[in-house]
Amino acid sequence: MASDDPLKKHARIRSAETLLIVLGDQLDLDAPTLRELDRERDAVLMMEVREEAEHVPSHKQRTVLFLSAMRHFAAELVERGYRVRYVKLDDAANTQSFASEVRRAASTLSPKRIMMLRPGEHRVVETFEEFAEEWCAEAEDRDFEVKEDDHFFTTIDEFAEWASGRKSMIMEFFYREQRKKLGYLMDSDGKPRGGKWNFDKQNREVFKRAPRPKKPYQPRPDDITREVMELVERTWPDGYGKLEGFGWPVKRAEALRALDDFIESRLPRFGAYEDAMWTEQPFLYHSLLSSSLNLKLISPRECVEKALDALDRGVATLNNVEGFVRQLIGWREYIRGVYFTEGPDYPMRNGLGDEGRLPDFYWNAETDMRCLSECLGAVVDHAYSHHIPRLMVIGNFALIAGVEPRQVHEWFLAMYVDAVEWATAPNVVGMSQHADRRPDAAPGETGVVGTKPYASSGKYIKRMSNFCDNCRYDVNKRTGEDACPFNALYWDFLIRHRETFRKNNRMAMILKNVDRMNEDTRAEITVAGKRLRERFGIVGGAGSSP
């Protein structure tokens, strides 16, 4: 059957020697699995299934991004001569799960070999492992092969080797080894360019007045994306977040243009202002490339190469370029390594024993705390906020208020356009919620990713943003009706967990402040914290100690 729709072109193929499964976050035209395919005899299988779209709630923009990017990718494969069996979400025959769709495709195409890149989530790895075991047991000459994803600089085995035997996995040490291994920003004498491994001191600038960054390139939805937007609105009318203004790259050409736009317009100020925040400015000088990277539309190599070229051309200075390179070759690789090395229990860890409920305002941004309404509002509108709102406002509030980490993790996984579990779990459960303590950890060891919790009072938010200027709460007050809720919750957090943190040297100074408080003050804070948790619906009781 001939069709104008490229996704229907191979709807009737009846055989494939090798069937390559491509998942929604494996959209790499240069993947090693694709290079192996014979375009005449083999076939690619891509599936839109409800099981994946619904296993956690999903922001509408996130769902649209995945589905539209998959459709664009499949169309591009067809154009390059690959045979593609594409199962759309609303196809009548769609059985709506990975395992049953692979089974259906395999019974039609009778491949001898099924191949895929390693999925980025333990749950999905297990699904395919189970399928592979059953399918291969049914006939002797069948093979199910999972290949390493060479999108990354580091394989999981290489990371495991680096991590093995280490008492603590500190990112900075991993990053320095990456720099040496890859040769990025290194001088010929083996020393880091500019004499320093990082330029953190130069990269903590705040805005003294409203910043005016150039509007980032955001592609307009084309016919494919508009069709997917209608599908998503129709299928999940009560889905979270807004769809209007969707402007995320859905194909490689758009992602490359977004990369160039960042390099020329925002990289020159990226590092210096990477921790700063400002009202109604969710993007500032950030790259906005994480969704394109996590879907594999672009590679971290080409991002680094372009940033280094900008340094050579004098477009951006070393502190700005180094900050960007560190995110790509250091942090991103490190958290993926942690996710796979720590194992499937990692996202469920609850090292501080907190069991509070995530407040409703996380889903709609309706709160009178200005910092949270700004940062959550950006998430509702764009399925995005940069790393400091994630860590020091949204994540920080959940941490100090005693919300169960699993709920925080699932919220981040649902609401961010760049959310994939290998990235979200260590960033949220580890870095943000300080909950990734191993079940067999020694006393005093509280986390894997972080050596101390990223908890703060309203003071940090005031220093790094203008949010407090227009808030109904007083950032300088600790208790009372108009006191900034971050303040009482922060001190209450330290009081609740002080015996746990006492063995942590990095917490010693701050705990001295708690110890110096008299009993009445501590009791007043405890009562204020409890009242706030009740008021925000964080019922269920915050933990006191693991």
Positions that interact with ligand SF4 (CB under 6 A): 369-371, 458, 461-462, 467-468, 471, 473, 475, 484-486
How many Cα atoms occupy the beta-carbon half-sphere of 362 within 13 Å?
Answer: 27
Minimum distance, C-beta of residue 467 to ligand SF4, in the bound complex (Å)? 4
Residue type, 232: V
Minimum distance, C-beta of residue 323 to ligand SF4, in the bound complex (Å)? 25
474: β partners = 483
Instruction: Give the three-state DSSP class for 409.
Output: helix
Minimum distance, C-beta of residue 431 to ligand SF4, in the bound complex (Å)? 20
Minimum distance, C-beta of residue 284 to ligand SF4, in the bound complex (Å)? 18
Residue number, 468 or 514, with CB nearest to ligand SF4: 468
Residue number, 7 or 475, with CB nearest to ligand SF4: 475
Containing 143, the helix (H) or strand (E) segment is strand 143-147
Minimum distance, C-beta of residue 93 to ligand SF4, in the bound complex (Å)? 51
Minimum distance, C-beta of residue 175 to ligand SF4, in the bound complex (Å)? 31
Residue 508, Ramachandran bin (φ over 0: left; ψ between -120 and 50: alpha; else beta) = alpha
**Cα separation of 10 and 365, whole Å?**
44
Minimum distance, C-beta of residue 277 to ligand SF4, in the bound complex (Å)? 10
Residue number, 397 or 422, with CB nearest to ligand SF4: 397
Give whole-number Cα distances, 107 to 15, 33, 94, 99, 132, in Å: 9, 22, 14, 12, 14
Question: Is the separation of the CB atoms in 426 and 339 below 8 Å?
Answer: yes
Using alpha carbons only, how large is the chain's radius of gyration in Å?
24
Residue number, 141 or 280, with CB nearest to ligand SF4: 280
- CA 336, 341, 344, 348 dihedral sign is negative
Question: Is the separation of the CB atoms in 298 and 287 below 8 Å?
Answer: no
Q: Which residue has the tokens 């040490």?
A: 173
Containing 538, the helix (H) or strand (E) segment is none
Minimum distance, C-beta of residue 430 to ligand SF4, in the bound complex (Å)? 24
Residue number, 261 or 492, with CB nearest to ligand SF4: 492
Cβ neighbours, 10 Å, residue 324:
27
Residue number, 287 or 465, with CB nearest to ligand SF4: 465
Residue number, 331 or 460, with CB nearest to ligand SF4: 460
Residue number, 415 or 461, with CB nearest to ligand SF4: 461
Residue number, 366 or 445, with CB nearest to ligand SF4: 366
**Cα separation of 201 and 184, whole Å?**
21
Minimum distance, C-beta of residue 459 to ligand SF4, in the bound complex (Å)? 8
Residue number, 177 or 474, with CB nearest to ligand SF4: 474
Tokens of 313: 């051309």
46: β partners = 86
Cβ neighbours, 10 Å, residue 309:
13
Tokens of 222: 């084309």
Minimum distance, C-beta of residue 490 to ligand SF4, in the bound complex (Å)? 10
**Cα separation of 94 and 112, whole Å?**
23
Q: Which residue has the tokens 């990082």?
A: 198
**Cα separation of 202 and 46, whole Å?**
45
State phi, psi for 73 to the nearest 5 degrees.
-65, -45
